[in-house]
Structure 1
Amino acid sequence: MKKHILKVLFGFSISMFCIGLLAPANLLADTEVSITTDKSPGLCIGESITLGFEANETPDSIRWNPEVLFADPTAAQATITPEESVEIILEFYLDGALTETSLSITVDRIEFPEFTTRDTTICEKEGVFLVRGDVDESAFYSWSPSEGLSDTTIANPLATPTEDIVYILTVSSSNGFCTEIDSVAIEVLPNHIEIMAGDTAFVCDDDPEVTLTTFFRPQGSTFEWRPNDGSLDNRFISSPTATVDFTTRYHVHMVTPDGCESRDTVIVRLDSLPEFNYAVVPAPREECNKYCPGDFITIFSNPFNPEHFPDLVFGWRPLDGSIRDSLQFQNVSIEANVSQYYIRINQNNACESEDSIFIDVVDLGVDFTPSDTVVCANEPVQVMVDPTDLSEIEWSPAEGISCTDCPNPIITVSETTTFTMEAMKEECCPVSISVTVNVVYPPIPIEPLITCPGEPIQILVDSEGYTNPSWSGPQVGDLSCTDCFEPFATVNTTTFFQLTAFDEDGCESRGVAEVDVFPPPSQLEIEVAPGDEIPIGTQGVFELVSFPTVPVDNIVWFYNGQEVESGVRIANISILEEGTNNVITAEMLDENGCPRTVSITISGVEPIFEVPNVFTPGGQNQVNQFFRPIVTNAELFDGSFVTDFKVWNRWGQLVYNNDNNEEGWNGRQGSSMAPPDVYVYVIEITLPNGRTRSLKGDVTLLR
């Protein structure tokens, strides 16, 4: 089967290609002529192409060259079938002048290779070359399908199909203008035998027999096995049984009914296992000939020659985590937990054995009751322990238990306690158990309370069914009684009291009374004007500032403990005491009805007196004309403080007696000027708070 396929086809009436004018300088330079074609000027041999032209002038005549290709070399359109590549020239004549243009046409040819056979039959697994002889090395080759082909891009691949198949060959010329397709069919005759054991079959010396099972096709084939050494039960069947004394290679030769031949090979390998002896290190404990849980033990076996047993591998059981090494190790370390067998699997290909080593471990289990219990305070609990195989019993802690070296003690405690018994099991391994006695105190319901600081409040207890009350706590002294159910508590801060009593079953019960106090106002202070220093005899303005705001009706003001004002938030209070002896206090009830007190200390400022020790009445500078006491802080006070002012001369004569206390003594004695001398004075002062003071001394009169 051979067929040509054209790569490109063009409509005749459509000019797809134009070739430009080649115009020498001595020809018509202004004439434009080009050749048109109905397809690409690349042809496969035997294909035709139609030529025409386009021009900007109408010619008088034209001529195509080479003329041998044209039926009419002067026709405006012409179809030619060139057998080789050629240069087409168009001569264009106009008004006696000549214009030429040309077109190159490439023609490809291919030589399709010769098939070895059109249709052929081969045995399965055989190969056949599909092409014979020389081939066109410039062409391109493509085979399909690819199954069984050594190369799909060469002319002559080796085909080794496994089933009937048709191969299709596509050949293309070097330029791609020519393409041919052909095919060849191959029938494959069944011819397969496979020993299912693979390359090697393994047997052990204790059972050296193996059946060499094969898979083959077709039915009706004949077989022959080698060697003929008597190890095969039948050399002429598909799957004989071999009994070997040493490692042996077996060959099978199969012939099909169609005469096809197939072969396969297998090695039957004979293996064995070494003899093992085991040792456990360390030995069991002498006291009981057992191990204790947690003991670390190593199981050893004698070494073997790995050159004789290169494929020998190991595995261990049980898989409970007690084996601490890799399960593939020959020797392993274990942590003893329970009595059990440790089994090692020894495998050398087809040879497999299991060896077991029993590790006897003391059972640390102890039967006892109870493990945990809930009781009332000081309620006895009987512990029962099975003493079988136990010795050296010791309980701890010792407090609250009837005996520390017996298996069945009685426990009596007032708080939750865990007791531990330690002993020796089978006089070999330490063992311990724990018993937790959970002591509960049934709750006594007591409602929480809140009160004002220092204000007694009664604790209310639902005491029905309870007896023998007893109160305790860090501030138990703040209770009116400690052996009653409902005492009065007087506290200044939040306080907790614990009540202990016994219910109808005699179980100690407990309750907690929380006595809270109302917090003071977040702001409580006295602001004063003009300041915290006020002249005695004058008033200060005192304002109570609080948050939350205190009701004004509840405010009472005190000065040095004496009530001076009430029902006002701002009080005007006179300061009477000198120094820091002025305490202003505001008492009130806050929004919760709790009494609150805030105080401020005011410094009372008194007049400061200075008496000159010399004066010069009648002096020309008009300074120091009068003798009188001077108040240095007089700007703080109103009025004079002098209530009695007397001056005497050295003979005891009274020379000044309250004549003008505002100005003082002017240095005259009666109507005459007193002589210069030293005089004695006594001045009585009355302070703004009514208290009196005497100023005594002498003064020198100068003139």
Structure 2
Amino acid sequence: MQFNYTRSCSFVSYLKVLLVLLFAGASQSASAQITPSTGYTASQLVSKLVGAGVTTSGEVLTCASGASGEFMVTSSNLGLDCGVALTTGKVVTGGGQYGINVLTGVASGSFASVDNLAPGDAALTTLAGQPTKNACILEFDFIPSGDTIRFNYVFGSEEYPSFTCSNYNDVFGFLISGPGFGTGTNIALIPGTNIPVCINSVNSGVPSGGYLLADCNSIGPGSPFPAYFVNNAAGTSVTYDGFTTVLQAKAAVTPCTSYHLKLGIADAVDGVYDSGVFLEAGSLSSVPNTTLVAVGVGTIPYAIRSCAPGHVTFNTAATSCTPTIIKYLISGTAINGYDYATIADSVIIPPFGTTAIVNINPLLIPPSTPKTVILTVLIPDHCDPTLLVPDPLQSATLTIYDSFHINIVTPDTMICRGESVNIIVQPDTIFGVLMVYNWTPAAGLSSSVVLSPTATPTTTTTYIITGNVLVAAGCPDATDRITITVYDPPVLTVDSILVKTCVGVPVNLHVNATPVGVPYDYSWASGTYLSSTSISNPVTNPFATGDITYTVTVNPTAQPLCKSTATVTVHTLGDYTVGPVSSNICFPQTVTVTSTGSTEFSYVWTPSIGVATSTSRTPVISDSVVGNTVYTVTSSYANCPDYVHTITIHVDTPANLQTIVDTICLGMSTTYDVTVPGGLYYHYQWSSAPSTVLISNDTSSHPIFTPSAAGSYVLTSVIQPISAVCAVTAIVKLEVLPNVISVHPTDTAICLGQVVQVIGSGHPAFSYQWLPTAGIGVSNVLNALITPDTSALYTVTAHFHSCPDIYATLNLQVQPTPTVYIGGNRPLCEFDTLHINASVLPAWFTGYTYTWSPAADLDNTSTSTVVFDGTTTTTLHLVVTSSAGCTGQDSAVITLLPGNFAAPLPDLAFCPHDTAILNPAGGAGLSYHWYPSIYISDSLSNSPVIRPIASQSYYAIVTNANGCKDTVHFNTIVHPAALISVPDSVTLYPGENYPIEPITNCTTFTWFPYTGLSNPLISNPVATPDVSTLYIVKATTEYGCKAVDSINIIVNEETLIAVPNAFTPGTGVNGEFKIIKRGIANLNYFRIFNRWGNMVYESKNIDAGWDGSWKGEPQPFGVYVYSIQAVTSTGKVFNKQGNVTVIR
């Protein structure tokens, strides 16, 4: 059957359609036979595909058994090392059926055509325009961290080459859906075009027999593209007769946003002629490639020792919403840590950044040959992501040189005055273009900053060239020199080569030239301060100190090139400073004078008393006069006016040292006066050790000290006059006693005649006295022995001469031995009770405890008065004990008389608020007393009205003429009132509902309004309102009792997200670090980093959590950084970063 239609790649007769919504990565060459395997879950296959910068979730695999799997390559023309295979037939060859791998022979003899009898897929059917079969689909959601997603793939088919340019054309596509895309956008395109990849667009360019090339041309401009086709007829590894070269699909995406991918392949119309797609492992990525740029000096990749560091810049073409950690291999001939400062083996590009820099700082070492530093980015091996391998396409090299050089090629030269020399200099071959130059001296040069100037010296001159790399701050200079000798100058003499003067004092200069009688021209340089620069005897009048060297150039007027020079140095002195201008010393200290004055001055100090050398420029002065003394120095030089300066010396004496020892008690204040007599200019500075002493004024000579705790203190006062070196320290050693004592026991009871041993706590410096002394053998010790005969309050007083007295008390209660009487033997009517009031003497003591026995017939066994209700004759016993254990006892025989004479009453049933009249049967002479009296109109009536509100057991005490009493019982059953109780309000977040679980005893229910309820006639409907709603419920019990309640269900449109701040891995409910969510939210990412910036966990499943491990290893106790981004159902973006502590 054939079909007429516009030629495209999306529908065929024997059609296998592949949909791959999105993958990204870099291809690697394959090597060895293909080894396929099957039996993997969707998550395992997706995990095989995913590389850096992509997180996935919701993985679903819908394939026939054996149609999907993984492959490993050791030698093949496939172009891939390993990855995932999706087919319309089988992955593994065996059992008489061909999969993707050739077992023996070549591909043309291995025909893969297996009908799995599996259903097709609706999306593939729409794409193909034909019914589909044998669909194999792998789909999932993903979130990219970068702005581009890419992956590498190869498509192969058994329909090559038989159906090239035919209507029977397998078609293949990649679709992505999400922000920026429609329901599915095909990105499986011929590189640089919008033409989809399929058999008719990628082939040898030769149509199969009976078909037209025009059918391939109609796919789009340039179609078909033989450059992307591999004829595999003779292939020994892949069964398909043809397949594409390794191609890459990519798409622009929004970082940290969720997208959906659906990868699938299917037969169309029938189930024969298998096709398959090979997807490279680890190539689904969203991390842009890194480019490395090495820069040393300027913009070239060369660095120099002792210069500014070089650096390698890591650049990415696009940003990522998460930190990008780039590991790299350090290689080259330079040694890390020896040739250059130690660098790390990784760098981090921050979120939304594109650049990171690694500085290469060369170190000084003995001279050596140039060394190289090579940084190569490490990438995960595609087939073993745990193994990092270098990527030669992501590398940079920086070369380190010891220095740069310059060389003057022109030799030393001799010239006559007025001639010129062209100085030729050879620059550094590497750094010459970056260097700047400077010649010294500059005199006679055409330029002092060019490489090769012209020199015209007037005297014999050595020129020095200095070169440096301007952009590399701190580099040592490179230098060379040349000497140019100038001959035949006139002979010049000067009156003096050194002329002395002072600032503002003029002096004459004079030069003589021989031979005499020849007209000469004179030129003085510089002309600073000169009256003329063109005469033989100018006048100079310097206005600044120092040496000025004047150079006079003399040449015969008729022979200007034959020049001579002479120099005169004018040595000028000026005013100066002396110091210190003002000094504070402590006798017998000295002051050493400093001076900026020249040693050429003559100095005289007055007064000379105390001056070690009165003619010294910087004498040592020993001043013994307390107070201020002014010293004057006068200096003279040549014909200069005298200069006069003064200094002032202040002399102090130290205060006398003091040491004070004192003792006080806590709570007291004290003062100590360390005032220096007559010392009004002394400064005081107090401190304490320890510092728990309050000082009223720490700069007073007599402050008040208030300790805040008992103990030993050292109070110090630094006493200082104007001169700090005269300071002394006064010391106060203060002992602070506690202001409290304690004794044990403080309050106790004993029997008369017992002895009490007191254990006390108090400072040994105190003296002690007990009062009263009665019963105390030794009353002046803290730990006294007391034998009291009566109760008393004892007080012990602690005394220290400078402290207020301190007290502690002991309350001793002396208890008697009790005498007990419970009333003797007596009769008791059967079923009656007997009130017994025990008499215990002495009665003034009220601290008795009571123990009655046997307890079975008593209402209480621990009070002085009890009620006996025994049914047989019984002997009662009472033991009375004081709190100190003093004991007395008594007993009595209680004889029972018959008492069963009253008629029984029936039980009664009530609804709440019902009433009834009690009419007991019985003979004359009986009286009734009803118990309990609650809900009974008259408890002494023989026929009272009863109105119970709750079920109750009643009894009546019936008394006969003999005074005996009988008891009859009956029960009232009150059906419970209707009860229903629900919470006042609850809050729901998007996607939540609330099962209403009321507390109730009712059996029928009616809820209003009905809207949003699963069932308005049950007790526990599920509420899912769209808006906040107040629900009212009316309920009825089985006895007709009614109740009403209401609940306000508040609908919050926003989602609530939170996280804990710590967790303990493996401990149950707190064993994972998870996001706490109320409502609906999609998780863009949930990442956790350790202190070194390593990402130890990443997920986009908002319900998943971190178990505290990384790469299968438990992580240590410590603080980790997390970063979360989620989007709520309202579109609100939720970002949260913080710390979480792992507790182990």
Q: What TM-score results when the alignment is normalised by the length of structure 1?
A: 0.29
Tell me which structure has the larger Cα radius of gyration: 1
